[in-house]
Copies of this chain bind each other. A is one copy, B any other.
Amino acid sequence: MQKSLIRIPNPPHILSSAAVVGQKEAEGPLGAAFDLHSADDRFGMDTWEKAESEMQRIAFGVMLKKAGLREENVDAIFAGDLLNQCTGSSFGLLDYRIPYFGLYGACSTMAESMTLAALTVGYGIFGVTAAVCSSHFCSAERQFRFPIEYGGQRPPTAQWTVTGAGAALLSAEGVGPYVTEVLPGISVEKGISDANNMGAAMAPAAVDTLTRYFAASGRKPDDFDAILTGDLGAEGHGITLDLMRTNGYDLSRVYQDCGLMIYSSSAQDVHAGGSGCGCSGSVICGPVMKRLRSGEWRDILFIGTGALMSPGSVRQGLPIAGIAHLVRITADPAEQKTGEGETV
């Protein structure tokens, strides 16, 4: 029998996290909950790709600083991004002398990296690990679509690649929200081949993962304060709601999508919402962690969704497969007590 849901025996704490974003994300409804932003999205660099790497480097450094740890305390990094050959991560984290596992999970990378970081700590392989990812609107546009100067029109189903990086530090010891369960994703492909409608391509994978989770865990959607996909956007959010209802699960009271949370649909021109590794990366490592630490949320499911495709595969007529990794994060009552009652 294939293993599906994994209950982690010694759930690792998320000691600290950091989210670094661009100007548009800082102007969005979650703006105040990110750690840092760059007003010109350049982070002091002369190319967009270097800016993306620098954003990861900064996020990692802020995360370490918050935990009061140094690079020699970290046993492994799990990191990835959307750039060809994942250079956003490999150059962004090159300064740190830490064992490095490069990942490619498209926009599911925050969940994939958090899954592996949590499993390796929770089963005693490592003591402290980091999960890191990024995307940058300008490096993604010219790689996946058109040079920005071209000014190509976007259909309503298109999503906007978030300029953002997220980093989370997991540890066997300390305080902070726990990663209590994970359910790794299976690639699902339902014949969608429109690269401007990633939400539709990824939604079936989110549905597959969520359905397997509820079946295996015996829980129901309303047991959670929030169920967050990242990043299906408006199109994929609607499809997921519908398909889950068909499968017998009503998500309507608790279901949100990182791609819909990060921008204002009325005030910011982003069509179907945000996307990119940095979307769920920055939303989870910034605002979501803040809510878990404050006690506003006590138990959530994060389902990182990715579209497994490339411009080349689309040109060759291949469909777009989706994948969705689930991570359950539970608040640590000890931390909230500390946060409320004591000076630390």
Contact = CB atoms under 8 A, between A and B. Distances in A.
A102 B109 CA distance: 9
Interface in A159-199: 184-187, 189
B123 A1 contact: no
Interface string A307-335: 01111110010100101000000000000
Interface in A84-107: 84-87, 90-91, 93-94, 97-106
A49 interface: yes
Given A3-B126, A6-B125, A102-B104, A187 B94 contact: yes
Contact of A85 (B4, B106, B125, B185): B106
A209 to B, nearest CB: 10
Given A87-B309, A123-B123, A187-B93, A2 B102 contact: no
A91 B120 CA distance: 27
A116 interface: yes
B82 A1 contact: no
A186 B98 contact: yes
A290 interface: no
A80 B104 CA distance: 8
A316 B88 CA distance: 13
B184 A76 contact: yes
A179 to B, nearest CB: 13
A119 interface: yes
Number of copies: 2
A131 to B, nearest CB: 13
Contacts of A225: none
Contact of A318 (B91, B308, B309): B91
Interface residues of A, number: 59
Contacts of A86: 104, 308
A68 to B, nearest CB: 16
Contacts of A91: 308, 313, 318, 321
Contacts of A49: 312-313, 316
A4 B84 CA distance: 29
The listed residue with most B CB atoms (<10 A of its CB), out of A73, A106, A126, A313, is A313
Interface of A: 1-4, 6, 47, 49-50, 72-76, 80, 82-87, 90-91, 93-94, 97-106, 112, 115-116, 119-120, 123-127, 184-187, 189, 308-313, 316, 318, 321, 323
Given A85-B106, A102-B105, 12 more contacts: A2-B75, A49-B312, A76-B184, A82-B85, A87-B312, A90-B323, A93-B187, A94-B321, A97-B186, A100-B186, A101-B116, A119-B125
